[in-house]
Structure 1
Amino acid sequence: MWLLFICTVALASCSGLIPPEGVEHSAAGADSTDARNHKSAAWRFAVESLLQTPSGGERWEPMYLPGKRFAGFESTERQGRPSLSVAADRSVSILRQRFAPSLTDFGQLAFSWKVDALPEGADLSDTEHADAAVRILLAFDGDRSKWSPRNQRLSEMSRLLTGEELPYATLAYVWSNQGELGSVIVNPRTDRIRKLVVESGVGQIGHWRDYRRDVRADFIKAFGEEPGPLVAVALMTDTDNTRSRLHAWYGPLTLEPR
């Protein structure tokens, strides 16, 4: 089910897998320092202490996309809060956790984040400019027989490229450059990815923002149906389409059982 990230980012959010001109990438998508940091016991302890989900989830792991610069998640403290920081630089940074078997007992999601800027010119409704300084993504299973022929083709393309199908549905909590709070942005390439705007505009840049969301209610608002089992959760900062640079911080995240 981790085509969530390849398809959400590479097929649905990013403009393509071609590296920006003049940018070189390692085979893993991250430099050796990032790779070492993300394997260290201290980093893993910090992540597991900060990101709390029901038992049964796999380890939180970075996700590297081919052809995309990766900016690492660093354990730090910001204004007295433990956090994971990302120094985004025309990059795509994803940290995700899978649930196998999928998670059927979930309720409230609490999370926080802070940014020092938004990607200049970003527009989450436009595939070519669909960057966001911070996102929380949730991927769900469901009945794919309900899909349109277009979504079936996208899923088959994904399976051929990666060996995995698209998740049935992906809900993203986003800080948008524009857009009304509480509005839902349907991804222009597939309606199986929908973004709920929980922060908008530049007014709160530089401030910690805290949220507590009812996952079931938000899924119903976004998709008009009950959510299926949860297969994955992730943090994501991407600035590759707009070629932007910014800093983002993710504070504690808690996904509670119902």
Structure 2
Amino acid sequence: MPSPRLRPADTGLRVAAVLACALLAALPAWAAKRAPKPAPAHAAPAPPMARPTPFSTGPVAATAPAGWTLETKPKAERGTRYDLVPDGGTIILRARADGSSASLRHGLFADPKLTPTLRWRWRTERVLQGAELGRKDREDSPARICVYFDRDPETMSLKERTRLKLERTRYGNRVPTAGLCYVWDNTHPVDTILDSAETPFVAMVVASSGAERLGRWQALQRDVVEDYRRAYNTDPPRIIGVSVAADTDDTGESANTWFGDIDFVGTPSR
């Protein structure tokens, strides 16, 4: 029996059916491409930060990175030596004190309300057996980081203003109106705060103590707002500088100390 001959109308219907099936099969993929993509997850905002030029920026063998200034202590016979050295894939600051005193200072403008947490790390080989905080002829430390504040002299008593004027006449504007010096002490417990025996405009804060962690890195952080309140009974003004030092001129002892980068951070903004 001969096959039935397709009419043109039947052929058109079959072609239309095939095209319709192909379109339906491709529809899910097309719809997936056209569907709105989910918004990428945003990383948490970084906390605010203020920092002096990091020691890790080098260069190796220099005294310090750009921005740091060497300051010698008045009447000190010898100055502490500083240089940048490699350590574990980064660059750190080395301080070598031998009956000597000098500091490295860096200007810095920061709002302690925004960046209240001071972070740093240090390592030293020995504590100073003859050091004694609060005693003018023994106030040495193998490791020291100071934070300076822009305290308005008009808020001081007449006695303090007179003392400030006298000290700045002798030593220049390097004399701060207010400072916190974080030290590695030999005897006082951590968190001890004492007035400096050398100047009434600096408070000494014990950040590390004793010989237990000698030779090992310590990563530390301090709330400068809280420490300033404890030392001065008021909220701190803006930060205007920092310094690092290894100081042994009073005791005549020797110390080798290493400092990592220093920064001030706050809490992440929401």
User: What whole-Å deviation, never above 9, does each CA across 1:191-248 have from its counterpart, x for those lacking one?
Assistant: 4211111111111111111102222122222222111011110101100000011111
Cα distance in structure 2, aligned partners of 1:86 and 1:252: 14
Matched, 1:242 2:259: no
Amino acid aligned to 2:59: A
Pairs within 5 Å for 1:56-71: 59-68=67-76, 69-71=78-80
Q: How does 1:107-146 map to 2 (within 5 A)?
A: 107-146=116-155
What does residue 159 of structure 1 align with? Answer: 168
Conserved 8 A contact 1:127-1:189:
yes
Cα distance in 1 for residues equivalent to 2:178 and 2:118: 17
User: Residue 103 of structure 1 aligns with which residue?
Assistant: 110
2:83 alignment partner, one of 47, 55, 74? 74
Q: Are the structure 2 counterparts of residues 224 and 44 from structure 1 closer, same or farther at C-alpha, using a change threshold of 3 Å?
A: farther
**Shift, 1:95, TM fit:** 0.7
Q: Which runs of 5+ in 2 are unaligned?
A: 1-57
Percent identity, please.
24
Paired residues, number: 207
TM-score by length of 2: 0.69
Structure 2 counterpart of 1:188, from 197, 222, 229: 197
Q: For the Cα contact (< 8 Å) 2:139–2:197, is it kept in 1? A: no
Deviation readout 1:112-171 (Å, 9 max, x if unpaired)? 111111222100111110000001101111232332444223211123224427422110
2:59 is matched with: 42
Given the two structures, how large is their TM-score scaled by the length of structure 1?
Answer: 0.72
Amino acid at match of 1:103: A
Higher alpha-carbon Rg: 2
Report the alpha carbon displacement of residue 46 of structure 1 after superposing the two structures with TM.
9.0
**Within the alignment, does 1:223 sit opposite 2:232 as a pair?**
yes
Q: Is the 8 A contact 1:81 1:251 kept in 2?
A: no
Structure 1 residues 255 and 79, CA gap change in structure 2 (3 angstroms): same
* Aligned-pair Cα RMSD in Å: 2.5
